[in-house]
Amino acid sequence: MTLNTKRDKWWIVTDIDGTLMDHDYDLTPAIPTIRWLQELKIPIIPCTSKTASEVRLLRKDIDLHDPFIVENGGAVYGNSELDTKEWELILGRSYKDLKAILENISLEIGVKLKGLNDLSYEDIELLTGLKGNSIKLALAREWSVPFLNPTDEDRLNVNSIAGKYGCKIYQGNRMSHLLDENSDKGKAVVKLKKYLNQTDAKIIALGDSPNDLPLLEIADKAVVVPGVSGPNKTLVDNIKNQDLIIAPAPHSEGWAMSIKNLINSHI
């Protein structure tokens, strides 16, 4: 999709888990706002730690057609209006290369960092709430390696060693994610703008956890979506975007309310 509009171009770039969806993977309260945005021809661009396989299914289920950013900015996918063939923009290194780096980090710190793909289906279900085929889709990693969060004592050391390998670690709600240093959600948005020749597009970005920080910092309007216990303190404390907005309700309800308020104020 080319995402052209005649007015100022606004893009909704949104995290999924904990933001568009709650932690039971429900986004029902957001559906009317999604349809409203589609009527306005404002694109909705998922920007998530999920795999491409997971997001393709989600897009089909809720009828989205705009580009999507996966694995915390590891790659961007989309379809041309004239050709149904999917295109791909790659920002970082392969899963295979990153998995080897995670193993090297484990050796250096003397603690086994256990990747998502190393866990049993039963353990993944307990950790994430995913089941069956949803687990299979979540394991179809190509550009990042999710792993169980290290202890606070090990975290700084792990981050430092990752830097030696040209990598970064981003912490989500459930897991940490190892990516190439050229991969993050903000860089992926910038790359997508250039690819579509729409560098003047204005971004409303929504996220809920520290791995959304690069996305929120490049946004024109940054929205932190709280959980039921409030916004993530680490994210709020570290964000430098001066237009930060805290959504007035958790998950998809707050997502919808914030977007409606912003769009009604700016178009």
Q: How far apart are CA 85 and CA 92, in angstroms?
A: 22
Closest residue by Cα to residue 225 from 201, 241, 207, 203: 207
Q: How far apart are CA 32 and CA 7, in angstroms?
A: 22
Length of the chain measured in residues: 267
Instruction: Indicate if 152 belongs to the active site.
Output: no
Q: Which of 15, 17, 66, 208 is catalytic?
A: 15
Helices (H), the chain: 31-39, 52-62, 95-109, 121-128, 132-138, 152-164, 185-195, 213-217, 233-238, 251-266
Q: How far apart are CA 219 and CA 222, in angstroms?
A: 6
**Helices 251-266 and 31-39, axial angle in degrees (round to 10):** 30
Catalytic residue IDs: 15
